[in-house]
Amino acid sequence: MNEYLDVILYLGKGALVSLQLFSVTLLFSFPLAIILMFLYKNNRFLNKIIRFYTWLFRGTPLMLQLFFFMFGLPVFNIRLDRMMVAYVGFILNYAAYFVEIIRAGIESLPHDQEESGQVEGASQFQVFRYILLPQAIRKEIPTITNEVITLIKDTALVTVIALSELLRNMKEVVSRDFTIYPFFFAALFYLFFSYIIIRVFRFIEKKYISPQIA
């Protein structure tokens, strides 16, 4: 019994690393995407840089980006510990995707809304903050939900830089003990948190979208 408990606690430690990476990534990547999207719309020079950034990070695998931050940056005398590498890689990668999601939402809105705000004397920031951004996020809630679900599953990729997250610990236990129940533990973890994410975003959708449609 104690042996099973030790295994569950070991897997739980890996799950906590996954949750920590998920939480920090979401906490920083979405606000960063909002800031970048504002700059994208209102600065022609930065527009090109941000377009290149989103093309680069969406066009290359997250695993490759983690390898670069882990083993490429030391060539330039920039050394980060493994957890910081994971944070930087995930935040920059997911911010790029969120920028594109928000951009798609904004570009789907009627242009006269932005023009009306400017005619009324609103600043670029006010038009973006109070008119464009709320509507874009509401329209893209389903896409954002899918991206957040992908994030909780992508945390498994940090095993490539030798971080002891859930799947890495699971593989160690399976290889050592020749048992399969760690697979079920890992599956339940991802299914449970995917379910929580779906429920949270459905609540947001019902509260902030459905009443306006009605």
pLDDT of the residue at 182: 80
Alpha-carbon distance 203 to 209, whole Å? 10
pLDDT of the residue at 214: 41
pLDDT of the residue at 4: 66
pLDDT of the residue at 213: 44
HSE, side-chain direction, 13 A CA sphere, residue 147? 22
Given a cut of 70, the residues of the chain with pLDDT beneath it are 1-4, 208-214
User: Torsion angle, CA of 98/101/105/108, rounded to 10 degrees?
Assistant: 150
Which domains are delineated in the chain? 2-213 (1.10.3720.10)
pLDDT of the residue at 1: 54
- What's phi and psi for 60, nearest 5 deg? -120, 150
pLDDT of the residue at 27: 96
Using a cut of 0.85, tell me whether the model's pTM lies above it.
yes
